[in-house]
Structure 1
Amino acid sequence: MYLLESCVIAISMYSKIPMPRVEWKEKNMKYAMCFFPLVGCVNGILVFGLGNFLSRLGTGKLFFAVAMTLLPLLVTGGIHMDGYMDTLDALNSYGDKEKKLAILKDPHAGAFAVLGLAVYLLWSVALWSEVSPKLLPVVAWGYVLSRGLSGLSVVAFPAARESGLAKTFQDGAKRRTVGITMVVWLLGAAAAVLWYSPLLGAAALLAAALVFCYYRGMCKRKFGGITGDLAGYFLQVCELAVLTVAVLVGGIL
């Protein structure tokens, strides 16, 4: 029963999918992060389904691209995009660690957040306008990869502060179990994309790994650890990187 509650907590926390109310307790919090990539599975299935549906329907490229850009944001409610925007404001403040962390907690969006959001959405629309149905499986699995790596960072990286969402999940999680579960999710996603297309899959995995390495170094140097906002920033950048590589490499192939 507690595993089902852990699943409900993860889905309700990281998506807008309707879920029953569950009280956060020590036991069900231990394994909540294990189900984080499941949200990516749902996202990927919806992206794959809508992408194929719109392609068969014969909609224009712009309509297709905008719809596919908006779908993941509608599923998540923008929770990770909020972290992406906050992180851009913090990184571009060029302040010390304490100032950057304070900016992450500020609910107001600054100029860099707005500009970063515009660039992200425009680049996403441009990429989606070039996506063919054959690329959809790799892009769909990218949502699982990003969440598997993000979840792994939550239990493996030090926290930047003693409060916040990431710290809450760190303190409540059974770290060894969550870490092993994230590796299993990642291996499954990697096997799936490599089986579907070895070259395209390898390119997508390399892109995700490079973003993860950048994310780890950036968190350590700039913030002294991770926060929920930084994890959301990584997730958004990782997904966009996988989409970018899929389009570029897919075009060559």
Structure 2
Amino acid sequence: MYSKIPMPQFKWNDDDMKYMLVFFPWIGAVIGLLLMLWRYIYSHFGVADICYVCIGALIPIAVTGGFHIDGFMDTMDAFHSYKPREEKLAILKDSHIGAFAVIMLAAYGLLFMGAFSQIMNDKAFIVFCAGFFIARCLSGIAVVSFKSAKSDGLLFMFADTAHRTIVRAALYIQLALCMTVLFIVSLPYAVAMIIAAALSFWYYYVKTKKELGGITGDTAGYFVCICECAMAVALGGVSFII
């Protein structure tokens, strides 16, 4: 559902969807492992720096098929329209892209790639790779905790069919275990990334509540993007200082 990883196909029913979000973070784990493999290739086979950065930025897109970027672009168009709430929700449903979606995606890509290029310390890179797991833990928690802006759509369906208590608990447990491991790997880098993730989560809640009255499937993708970028910037900044 959330990746281009080939998987067996089957017919969905409510029982299957109750706990689906519990496994959402593991797509982030796959992205992190692939990035670590790419870093190994870069370190041992003389890959040029610009190639390393560009392919590194492409790996998350290739794994997800741009699923979250689609939501990011739609959300950017809606937020920058400065129109009433109902019109913003209508823009989110529009399959066309506007100028602000393109402009903000270009800005996002440059910022992410610039931050990625700064994460050269091995411990910082391990923490960075774990960030894709953390972003999806927080996104799943938001789905089962925040108010939906609409009473229809993909996100509402997942939120409505999910066993909220179990899903929320499972995601918090996974998040806590991941953070514990990162504290062991490197306390400064872990703290920097967790602060960036927490601020992204708070901003997401405040921004979507103000602009849309809640979250949607598109804003969920938007959050994953801004959280991943914020964590990359935080780690790149700390790497530069250290």
* TM bucket normalised to smaller: over 0.9
Structure with bigger RCO (C-alpha 8 Å, 6+ apart): 2
CA distance in 1, matches of 2:36, 2:226: 20
Is the contact made by 1:51 and 1:133 (CA closer than 8 Å) also made in structure 2? no
Q: Deviations over 1:47-71 (max 9, x none)?
A: 1111222122221211110000001
Indicate whether 1:229 and 2:214 are aligned: no
TM-score (norm 2): 0.97
Structure 1 counterpart of 2:156: 167
Q: Is the 8 A contact 2:153 2:217 kept in 1?
A: yes
Question: How far apart, in 2, do the equivalents of 1:40 and 1:57 lie?
Answer: 26
SS of 2:230's equivalent in the other structure is helix
Aligned sequence identity (%)? 41
RMSD: 0.9
Q: 1:70 aligns with which of 58, 77, 89?
A: 58
Provide the C-alpha distance between the structure 1 equivalents of 2:35 and 2:217, rounded to a whole number of angstroms. Answer: 25
User: 1:104–1:229: 8 Å Cα contact kept in structure 2?
Assistant: yes
- Contact preservation (8 Å) 2:121, 2:239: no
Q: Is the 8 A contact 1:92 1:112 kept in 2?
A: yes
Alpha-carbon distance in structure 2 between the residues aligned to 1:164 and 1:250:
41
Matched, 1:251 2:240: yes
Match of 2:77 in 1: 89
Decide whether the 8 Å contact of 1:83 with 1:228 is kept in 2. yes
Show structure 2 runs of 5+ residues with no match.
Answer: none
Describe the SS at the equivalent of 1:176.
Answer: helix
Q: Out of 12, 18, 41, which is 1:24 matched to?
A: 12
Q: For structure 1, which runs of at least 5 residues remain unmatched after alignment?
A: 1-12
Q: TM-score, normalised by structure 1?
A: 0.93
Aligned twin of 2:137: 148
Alignment size in residue pairs: 241
CA distance, structure 2, for counterparts of residue 228 and residue 100 of structure 1: 14
How many Å separate the matches in 2 of 1:61 and 1:248? 19
- Residues 18-167 of structure 1 aligned to structure 2 (within 5 Å): 18-134=6-122, 135-167=124-156
